[in-house]
Every structure is written in structure tokens, then in C-alpha cells.
Amino acid sequence: MWPSFSLNRPLIWLGLAALAAASLLPLLTLRLVALVIVAIGMIDGWRQIRLEHQRRRLSEQALELSQDGMMITDAGNRILTVNPAFTQITGYTLDEIAGLDPSAFSAGRHDKAFYDRYWQTLQATGRWEGEIWNQRKHGDQYPEWLRVQACHDDKGRVSHYVGLFTDISRHKARERDLRRIGFEDPLTGLPNRRRLHDLLASRLRHLRAGEGLDLALIDIDGFKAINDGLGVDSGDRLLARFGQRLAAQVAGGIVGRLGGDEFMVIRTTTFDDHEKWVASLRQHLSEPFEIDGNSLRLGLTIGSCRAPEDGNDSGVLFQRLESALYSAKRHGRNHDRRFRPSLEVENDRQLAVINELRQALAQGSQLEVYYQTQHRLDDGELIGMEALLRWHHPEQGLILPNEFIPLAERHGLMPALGNWVIGQVVAQISIWRAQGLTAVPVWVNISALQLIQGDLEASLLSTLRQYRVPAQFLGLELTESVLLDERAGDISPRLEALRREGLQIAIDDFGTGYSSMAYLKRLPIDKLKLDREFIRALPHDHADAAITSAVLAMAQGLHLDVIAEGVETAEQRDFLLARGCRHVQGYLYARPQPASAVESRLRQATATVYP
């Protein structure tokens, strides 16, 4: 089993020959030469013995340091020696097991056929490798990865077996954890989306006559506000308690968390009381939750359906649940909606539009960026532009953004669409600057999905560098709905980083959200765009007049610019001018136009500045 001393050395053989000839040589000189040769052979032999001893000692030390257990048996499979790792793993010392057959450690999990195959492979190939279960000295069973090699003597007969093994119990535990994580939500311990698909499919397969499945998808309204107000840890505790309460309410049913603040419930029932069941869920979950001394009463948006009436396939039912939830959300918070076929018809029509929009984005020829100029109110000077996307559909003609942008947001197309617009705008700014035209900032709208995507900043800066456009010529407009989207997280540091690069930030449609003032205090912004809803009835509507005046006064105190959108009449212009508004945008000054039409305005502005 260990390397043996070898005589296959020329100096050793030469020394032995010189020793035999020394007594036969007639001359003393020749005898002395022979003795020198003998001495050289002995020195070489001694050096080889020392090297062999050193190699053996190093091999023994390596085995002692190895974390793999080692066991050597004789040809009859009786244990001769083990290394320290063997004792550490199994608990047995050499004195306790010397002479035993290794089968004495078997955990009993393998049958006779397993061991027959083991010996057949070992005898046929001289080695075996695989997973095997054994038992430690104290009785606990463990899996090991075993490698066995047969060693042969000079005549080719098996003289020893050397086995090396690794304790893989930790790996097995990690595999179990990974499988558990793959099917379980780590925060609540409830089934995750993948597991819910499997459980729903199983329930559908085992439905009996007269049974049905009630399904509900529950979304917690305004959960981001809770996270922001109480902190993420408190938000996590609320989600865990919400899941516990929901599971207690539907004992015998299935409760899972799809992610974020969305939960799903499945109930097998023989009663046709779907609406009553959903109402009972809402009532039970609307009871206050006590978190860190705060009493929280939650609003819920619920989409629901029933099997087999609304489908008998798990994938189809998931889609219909989500359609019902989206429909409920479109009606505002704290609503519930059961799936109905008209929702699917509507979704099919919307899906067709989305597919056509994807094709238009890939081709690029149907999409075009229009520009609406922005002006200084006191003298009408051009001070900026807003980029507005238009879709020239080959059959339906011009499609405005309010018809396709909501669909693009719902179906995850906004990041690609938004990046396309940014690329077109920056390229156009580069062309205008190369032509020597007066360059003004161009403002582009940013969607929540572009922020959630995570690489908006890198994409923006890369595009600006590509076209060599200074950052101050690009402005970003974010609606209050984007700022309030809980999926985007805290965007304040990201906006501050963009401002440091030179980009300007504006809040679009200001006044339409419900927490505008809170965001004004902490967001790094340069400008407010007063929504056209407050401009349309000026100056005759007293409420709009009061709101507009208040916003202008507040912005002045915060040192923020305000641009009023939708200015269409001289009366509106004069009212805003009298209240201190500096910038406007609207049909009174210009309608949205293609880049070629806007270019003439830029030439006029350039001629005015440089006559």
C-alpha cells in the first residue's frame, strides 16, 4: 500500500558489483577503487532510503491532514488502518474497528442488490464511486460519498482496498434547504408562487363530483406607505402576521404568498357562496393589526375566480385571477372583482395591441418623438421642450400615448420603450447642436418600471456619452404615481446622483397625487409641472384659482420653478403671469410637432440670439 524501496538504481548495482570484485582484484589500487565505488553505491542507497522514508512520512502527514476519511482493508476486506479524519467523522478509533468488515457500519438503507452491484463493479473495474449511507458510533446515520480503489501485488492479485469518503450530510441538508426555498416563501413560511401552481394543479386533479375551488388573489393597499412610515422590519412583521391570520381563516385550505404584498387563497368547497366567502375574507383581514404599538387597519384589493366554472387549468386560473385583480385595481383601492369572460376578451384585445407595439418598437419606423415647446411667460422666449411619443399605426393611424402607454406599463414594455425614447431624444439634441442651433433642455417622461429595472442611471449616462451631449440638456419628468410606486423603493438617493451628473428633475402632473407635500420636502427636484386639470377652468373656477395660487406661492417659498401645462387662452396666461408663474406649455404657444417642424423654431431662436 505504501511505496517500497527500489533497487532500480545504477549506482547501487555498480557498488554491489564492486563489492563482489574487491576481493578478487590482484592490485591494491584496484581494490581501493572498488571500495570507493562501493562507498558511492552505499551513499546513494542511503540517500534513497532517506528519501523514501521522507516520502512515506509526508504521505502519512497528508492523510492525517486530509478532511476525507480513509480506510485500508486487506484482500479479505478486513480493516487494517484508518486516518484521523475517519475517527472524526465516524467516532470510531482504529483499536475499536481493526479486523472488522466495513459492512459493520452500514445504516441498513441499502439492500442486497445494491451491495452485489458494488462488488461486481469493484471486481470488474478495480474501483467504485458513489453515495452510501453509514452509521456513526453514537447511532446517527449519515450519507457519505465513497471512492474505493483496489490495489494489486506484483502478480496482479488484489492485495488491499483503499477507501476515501466525504461526509456529505451538510450538502444534503443544503439541498433540502434549497428545495424548501424553491417552494417556500422565506418571510412567511407559506408556499410561494411555484409551489402554489403545483398545489392548485393537485387540487384540480382531485376534485370530486359536486366540489369546486374558490380562489382569491389579495393585494394590500398602500403597503409602501407602511414600510416608509414604520420601517422595513415592521413591514415584514405585518406581512408575516397577515399570512398567519389568513391561514387561520381558511383552515384546510391553501394560503401562499406570491411576492411583495400579494397573497393567494385556495379553498375546496361544496358550497356555491363565492361572493360571501370573499366578503368574509375581507372582513376578517380588515380587523386592525397591532404592530410596534400602532393599530393598522388595512385596505385590500381582491381578484377572485372559481373552478371549474372559470377554468380547470392552473395556468389559466392564475391568469384569470390576475386579470380580476387588475380590473379591481383600475376601480381604485379597497375593491374586489370576480373574473368574468369580458375581462378575457378585453385582455385578448389588449394583448394584440401590445404585440403590435412590440413589433413597432423592433422596427422603429412606426414610432416617432414629437416635441412641444415650453416658453417664458413674460416674453414668450423658448426655454425648453417636452418629448412626447407618437405611434403611427399602419391601420389605425395616429395613436396617442394615453391609449397605449398604460398597456405598455402593465405588460412590462415601458423599460424598452422608455430607453428607445431617450436614445431618440439624445440623438436629436446632438444633431441640433452640431447644426449650431440654440439648444434648450428636452424633458422626457420616466416610468416606474424604468426605475425598478435598476440600470436607468447607467443607461442614461451611457447614452449621453455616446452622443457627446452634456447632461444639462436632458431633463427627467416623474409623475407622482411613479414616486408613490412601492416597487421602486426609495428613489431619492438615485435622483440626487442623477442631479450631481447635471440632469434636471421635475415632478409631472403635480397635484394629482395624495402625498405631494411630503415628497416636496425630501426629493431632490428642480421643477413642478402644474397639471392641466387645474389650468383648464382658469380664471373662472374659484377652486382651481385658489389651488393654482397656493402651489405657485409654495413653490416660490421652496425655490422651485413651476411650469403650467395646458395653457390655451390669453386669460389663462394673464392669470398665471399675475400670480408669479414664470413658465408655460400649451396650445396657446405650440402644439406637439415632429422634430423637423420644431427645427424651424430653433432656427428662429438662433437668429434672434445671433442676428
Per-residue pLDDT reduced to its tens digit, 163-214: 999 888 877 766 665 555 567 887 888 988 888 988 999 999 988 888 999 9
Which stretch of 144-158, 385-399, 440-454, 548-562 has the lowest confidence by average pLDDT?
440-454
Specify which residues 382 forms β-bridges with: 375
Query: Could you give the count of Cα atoms lying within 13 Å of 70 in the half-sphere of its Cβ?
Result: 18
Which H or E run includes 147?
A: strand 141-152
Amino acid at 309: E
pLDDT at 607 over 70: no
Q: How far is CA 289 from CA 246, 249, 278, in A?
A: 12, 15, 19
Residues 6+ apart with CB under 8 A from 295: 288, 289
Provide the pLDDT confidence category of residue 68 given band limits of 50, 70 and 90: confident
pLDDT (0 to 100) of residue 311: 86
Contacts of residue 137, defined as CB under 8 A and 6 or more positions apart, other chains included, come to: 90, 91, 92, 96
- Residues contacting residue 39 through CB under 8 Å, at least 6 positions apart: 15
Can you tell me the mean pLDDT for 314-337?
A: 82
What pLDDT score does 335 carry?
85
d(CA 263, CA 246): 9
Residue at 297: amino acid letter: R
Cα→Cα distances 327→86, 223, 426, Å: 64, 19, 37
Grouping H, G, I as helix, E, B as strand and the rest as coil, residue 428 is helix
> Over 60: is that where the pLDDT of 415 sits?
yes
- Residues in CB range of 221: below 8 A, 6 or more apart: 298, 299, 300, 301, 333, 334
- pLDDT over 90 percentage in the chain: 22
Whether 260 has a pLDDT exceeding 90, the answer reads no
Q: Which amino acid is present at 290?
A: E
- Supply the pLDDT for residue 161: 92
What pLDDT score was predicted for residue 508?
83
One-letter amino acid of 192: N
Residue 74 clears pLDDT 50, i.e. is over it = yes
User: Which residues is 518 bridged to in the sheet?
Assistant: none
DSSP state of 512: S
Distance in angstroms (rounded) separating the CA atoms of residues 288 and 292: 13
Q: Which three cell numbers stand for residue 520?
A: 416636496
- Tens digits of residue pLDDT in 335-382: 888 888 765 545 555 666 777 788 888 777 888 999 999 999 988 888
pLDDT at 254: 93
Nearest Cα to Cα of residue 598 among 374, 368, 371: 371
List Cβ neighbours of 280 (8 Å cut-off, separation of 6 or more): 249
Joined together, the cell numbers standing for residue 486 give 412601492
Judge whether residue 55 has pLDDT over 90: no
Q: Quick one: pLDDT at residue 231?
A: 79
Question: Mean per-residue pLDDT for 450-460?
Answer: 74
Classify residue 189 as left (phi > 0), alpha (psi -120 to 50) or beta: left
Q: Taking Cα atoms as reference points, which of 581, 157, 210 lies closest to residue 377?
A: 581
CA dihedral 311, 317, 319, 320 (to 10 degrees): 60
Q: What is the mean pLDDT of the chain?
A: 81
Q: What is the chain's alpha carbon radius of gyration, rounded to the nearest angstrom?
A: 40
